[in-house]
Structure 1
Amino acid sequence: MIRPVAKFLGALLLVVVIAAGIIFALGWKLRKELNPDPVTVAAASLQAVREQAVLVPFAARFVAVVTSEQHRFGFSAKQTLIMPGMVRYELDLSALQQRDLRWDAATRTLAVTLPPLSVSAPEVDLRHVQSYGEGGVLMALTAIETRLDAANKAAGQAELVRQARDALPMKLARDAARNAIQRSFAMPLKAAGIDATVVAKFQGEA
């Protein structure tokens, strides 16, 4: 289940608003002092975007439920782990290059090709991790419990990543990234008095 983290995104929104203000001011300055063409504005905007380094357009909370089982000496032991964790979706803005921008004068469209979106390692919410075990005899006589716990933690991390890479959250993250980048380039163009459309897409997208 995807659970966007309101507090995290609230702080992120503040950063985006500040960055947008800087970019808007840049566009206003260009309009006032340079009266540039769209390519010049786009190039200046690219530099401002690159300086942000990493964009986190989306973050979501997932819950992994995994079970491990061991058998020894005719006994069995089973342990189930419930592991919630947050995953961030990141865009490396420093990877953007001038070649990733294309201005179409006929349609007055600026196309921006984005680098791949990456998924961060899950941040496990240790306060809400729950574990349930069966097979006390085997656990008491051996180190099975430690092995089960280690196996479940590894499986839980893998499950959180798998959920994060599912089609729906990846789509939500890509949409958020595209929207953020389109705004970052559209605002300076508008501030410079240039009527243009910005279309951001990921590599390989039609």
Structure 2
Amino acid sequence: MITTPDAPPAERRRALARTQALPWLLFIVMLALAAWLGYRAFWPRGGGDPIGTTIVAFEKQNRLTVFSAQLAPVVAAEDSRLLGFVKSRQVAVIPARVDYSLDLSKMDRNRLAWNTATHTLDVLLPPLSVGTPNLDEGRAQYLREGVWISREAQDSLSRTNTRLAEQQARQQASNPVLMTLARSAAKEALRQNLAIPLQVAGFGDVTVNARFEVEPAPTAR
């Protein structure tokens, strides 16, 4: 509003007050806009939705290694040359490590259930993945038998034993005892990885119950 020199003093004071207040109004509007943008950028997607917060936590780590087993396959291979007149045998002990992991990219809302009354999150986990055995042939131990073992025969024996050791390590890694240990480790890892983000998001003291598809569902109480 434009005031003339002959305008009443009261009117001039009101116009001056409105002019001085305008920068503060703009500042408040900009501050509110910045706060809203910050909320959208840093608050977990889904806002107050614990399932949405959990999905975000899964997205940050698509594959989670939960357990590792140290194995020591003992294998043996034989080689025959010169029409069977030259025979050799090699026994090998080859240390191996096998990792067990969860593919969290398979997790979706259908695998999650939230109980508001008890602050409990039930999680149905995808099947545990058993990785390819990592053979440590630098620490392998060999016992060779034969009157004369050529370089070609030795290489053939080593290749065969490496293949057999990998097969045996896969079989050992899938035995029920190790699978039970790996599943227990996976459930404990999921509890730790999910409880903290939910607490930070403001859901309080959260209980996370995790189970695999091969395990029975908990009975209702």
Q: Following superposition of structure 1 onto structure 2, how do residues 41-52 of structure 1 map, counting pairs within 5 Å? A: 41-52=50-61
Map of 1:171 onto structure 2: 180
Q: 2:195 aligns with which of 186, 195, 203?
A: 186
SS in 1 for 2:161: helix
- State the structure with bigger RCO (CA 8 A, min sep 6), 1 or 2: 1
Letter in 2 for 1:66: V
Map of 1:150 onto structure 2: 159
Identify the structure with the greater strand proportion.
Answer: 1
Kindly indicate whether the alpha-carbon contact (under 8 Å) linking 1:110 and 1:196 is maintained by their aligned counterparts in 2. Answer: yes
1:70 CA displacement: 4.1
| Structure 1: gaps (5+ residues) | 1-28
The change in CA–CA distance for 1:160 and 1:179 in structure 2 (over 3 A counts) is: same
Q: Following superposition of structure 1 onto structure 2, how do residues 118-157 of structure 1 map, counting pairs within 5 Å? A: 118-137=129-148, 139-140=149-150, 143-157=152-166
The change in CA–CA distance for 1:99 and 1:55 in structure 2 (over 3 A counts) is: same
Q: Pairwise CA RMSD of aligned residues? A: 2.4
1:147 CA displacement: 3.0
SS in 2 for 1:136: coil
Q: How many residues align?
A: 170
Q: Following superposition of structure 1 onto structure 2, how do residues 63-78 of structure 1 map, counting pairs within 5 Å? A: 63-70=72-79, 73=84, 76-78=87-89
1:86 aligns with 2:97: yes
Letter in 1 for 2:126: P
Identify the structure with the greater helix proportion.
Answer: 1
SS in 2 for 1:169: helix
Map of 1:197 onto structure 2: 207
Provide Cα deviations, 1:112-170, integer angstroms capped at 9, x if missing partner: 11111111111111220122111133x34x95433322221111111111111122221
Q: Give me the whole-angstrom Cα distance separating, in 2, the residues matched to 1:87 and 1:168.
A: 14
Q: Give me the whole-angstrom Cα distance separating, in 2, the residues matched to 1:42 and 1:184.
A: 14
Identity among equivalent positions (%) equals: 32
Structure of greater Rg: 2
Map of 1:109 onto structure 2: 120
SS in 1 for 2:160: helix
Q: Following superposition of structure 1 onto structure 2, how do residues 95-106 of structure 1 map, counting pairs within 5 Å? A: 95-105=106-116
| Structure 2: gaps (5+ residues) | 1-42, 217-221
